[in-house]
Amino acid sequence: MPILAVIFYAPLFAAILGFYAGFGLFLAVLGQSLWRQPALVSPQEYQIERIRARPAGVGEFPPDVAWPNYIFKQAGVDRHLVRVNLAKQYRRFWKWPRDTFVRGRHGSRFWWWVILPVSLSVMAFMLVGGACAWACYWVYWAVVTSMMTVNGAVAGALRSYLRTVEARRRETRHAHASCMNCFHVTPWPAYRCPRCSMPHQDVRPGRLGLFFRRCECGARFPTMASRAGWRLTGVCKRCGEPLAEGAGAVRDIRVPIFGDTSAGKTRFLYASLNSVLRSASQAGLSYGFPDQSSHEHADLGFDLIRSGQDTAKTSATVPVSVSCRLGTGRGSDLIHLFDAAGEHFRDAQRYDSLRFLDDAQALVYVLDPFSIGEVRARLAGYNATVIRQAHAAAGDPEIAYGEVVSRLRDGGVPAGSQRLAIVISKADLLHAAGMELPSGSAEIAEWLADVGQHNIVMSARREFAEVRYFTVASQDVAADRRDDPGVPLRWLLTAHGVRLPADAASPPQPSGAPRHTAGTPS
């Protein structure tokens, strides 16, 4: 009877011990797999895996090197490692019983089976311990799998939502980032890691982080261009040059100015910017220049306008761009004005240098009235000195206009995506020569058609979302400000959401350069 009791209770007691030993075994394996000897998926390994899954296409960048979100990769690796380690440890525990009872390596198997309570107890301990450890593993598997599924679904939904919000914000705020070095425009630029300076090509929410991303070097920074633009340095994806602070996060309006040689494009650029910045300054709106080159160009241009000197002919090699930041911080707007020598608009071989035309939201076509044959004919015999001073553009106004429009439409830029301001320059000289120009947009269009430029008028109406006509003078602006060079630029900017103060009540003073209210350009 006592022997039967021992045969029954010894294995039962061993099974209870095995029950707790199973927990212990699993916890030991868990500690080993997650802390003592973990398998860490490095950013490079994850990048290689992503490239294998989906190789980067032409013009695409490979995935960035950053730590992936735990649920997308590391959780699965940890789960696998726990299973492998548990199986290995459990096999190791079975080694002695297997060698002893099955293979007979520790004496005759017969004698082991004679002392049945011992054998049964060991077997009960091992079996219950193993069952318990594996049960724990499957609980762990269920927890990790459900976490991966639920978190993955939530992360996927959040990712889509954040990307949609960001894309919508980008469209409504015109927050694409533009490079003033190569004129490349991108919805989201690359950003340099604040610690290791490695560029991250795509900081949108995704597998590398929803709200924040951790670079390979360990630096943590926000995702989404609207937030990263203020914490990181944006760089152009094409040429790698640094972009203005807030690139990709703030409104970015690009306005190319085109026209024939000597039409007055450069003068219009500085005079219009001068006017807009002066009214902003009077209203207490701060402004600055995001790069040294823009600052120097603007200073030089404003000085010329102030002193009434002629502007030098624009270099025929590289187009000039002047960038300006209106306002400060997150509510600021970046404005880029482009000026290329008139030769670029006549020569199809120079199309590459006019890339800035394709991504512009608005354009200004500067038309020299003295280049129109009918105008010259009407002025014949009037003030010859003034006509000489006008340095009339030699080419037909339709050529430069036609070249630009052809380039835009051939390049796939939709007709309804851009606004056009047609600016009749040198209004002051025309007035001095004895010819008065009408003031309203429709009247100017009518006047243009009347002097033989009906092709431009007809085409502009068809080719652009909205067209307005202006007359401008860089020196002697009429008392009613109808020739203020800032008016066309102000219309184009406000049409794209730039908040500008209402025109100052006082008459414009083209002879005064605007006053900087913002700090020094960075």
Instruction: Kindly state the smallest distance separating residue 122's Cβ from other proteins, in Å.
Output: 21
Interaction of residue 89 with other proteins, rule CB under 8 A = no
Interaction of residue 154 with other proteins, rule CB under 8 A = no
Candidates 6, 10, 75, 198; binder of other proteins (CB under 8 A) is 75
Candidates 7, 23, 446, 503; binder of other proteins (CB under 8 A) is 23
Exposure letters 305-336 (e unless 16+ CB within 10 A, then b) = bbeeeebeebeeeebbbbbbbbbeeeebbbbb
Kindly indicate which of the ranges 37-45, 415-423, 424-432, 455-463 contains the residues binding other proteins, using the contact rule CB under 8 A: 37-45
Pick the closer one to other proteins by CB: 146 or 511: 146
Kindly indicate which of the ranges 38-46, 194-202, 313-321, 438-446 contains the residues binding other proteins, using the contact rule CB under 8 A: 38-46
Contacts of 231 (CB under 8 A, 6+ apart): 194, 221, 222
Contacts of 394 (CB under 8 A, 6+ apart): 260, 261, 262, 371
Candidates 125, 140, 221, 287; binder of other proteins (CB under 8 A) is 140
Pick the closer one to other proteins by CB: 214 or 376: 214
Interaction of residue 40 with other proteins, rule CB under 8 A = yes
- Which residues within the stretch 202-231 sit at the binding site for other proteins (CB under 8 A)? 214, 218
Kindly indicate which of the ranges 135-143, 153-161, 321-329, 415-423 contains the residues binding other proteins, using the contact rule CB under 8 A: 135-143
- Which residues within the stretch 477-516 sit at the binding site for other proteins (CB under 8 A)? none
Interaction of residue 67 with other proteins, rule CB under 8 A = yes
Pick the closer one to other proteins by CB: 96 or 138: 138
C-alpha 510/C-alpha 276 separation (Å) is 11
Contacts with other proteins by CB under 8 A: the residue count is: 27
C-alpha 289/C-alpha 334 separation (Å) is 9
C-alpha 87/C-alpha 167 separation (Å) is 48
Q: Is 258 helix (H, G, I), strand (E, B) or coil?
A: strand
Tell me how far CA of residue 414 lies from CA of 349, 358, 362, 497, in angstroms: 23, 10, 12, 20
Candidates 2, 35, 55, 381; binder of other proteins (CB under 8 A) is 35
Candidates 136, 273, 337, 386; binder of other proteins (CB under 8 A) is 136
Candidates 115, 147, 150, 300; binder of other proteins (CB under 8 A) is 147
Candidates 10, 70, 101, 407; binder of other proteins (CB under 8 A) is 70
Candidates 8, 9, 42, 303; binder of other proteins (CB under 8 A) is 42
Tell me how far CA of residue 78 lies from CA of 48, 71, 75, 350, 405, in angstroms: 19, 10, 5, 58, 59
CA atoms in the 13 A half-sphere facing the CB of 495: 20
Interaction of residue 71 with other proteins, rule CB under 8 A = yes
C-alpha 163/C-alpha 145 separation (Å) is 26
Interaction of residue 10 with other proteins, rule CB under 8 A = no
Looking up tokens 């309203």 gives 440
Candidates 64, 78, 245, 483; binder of other proteins (CB under 8 A) is 78
Pick the closer one to other proteins by CB: 23 or 491: 23
Tell me how far CA of residue 351 lies from CA of 330, 339, 355, 404, 407, in angstroms: 35, 14, 7, 9, 8
What residues does 321 pair with on adjacent strands?
338
Specify the length of the chain in residues. Answer: 522
Contacts of 223 (CB under 8 A, 6+ apart): 162, 203, 204, 205, 206, 208, 209, 210, 211, 212, 213
Pick the closer one to other proteins by CB: 40 or 348: 40
Interaction of residue 53 with other proteins, rule CB under 8 A = no
Looking up tokens 């009877």 gives 1
Instruction: Kindly state the smallest distance separating residue 145's Cβ from other proteins, in Å.
Output: 11
Kindly indicate which of the ranges 83-91, 142-150, 174-182, 373-381 contains the residues binding other proteins, using the contact rule CB under 8 A: 142-150
Which DSSP helix (H) or strand (E) runs through 222? Answer: strand 220-222
Candidates 144, 451, 465, 495; binder of other proteins (CB under 8 A) is 144
Pick the closest to residue 492 from 470, 514, 476 (CA basis).
470
DSSP secondary structure, 93-133, as one string: HHHHHIIIIIS--SS-HHHHHHSHHHHHHHHHHHHHHHHHH
Binding site for other proteins (CB under 8 A): 16, 19-20, 23, 26-27, 30, 34-35, 38, 40, 42, 67, 69-71, 74-75, 78, 136, 139-140, 143-144, 147, 214, 218
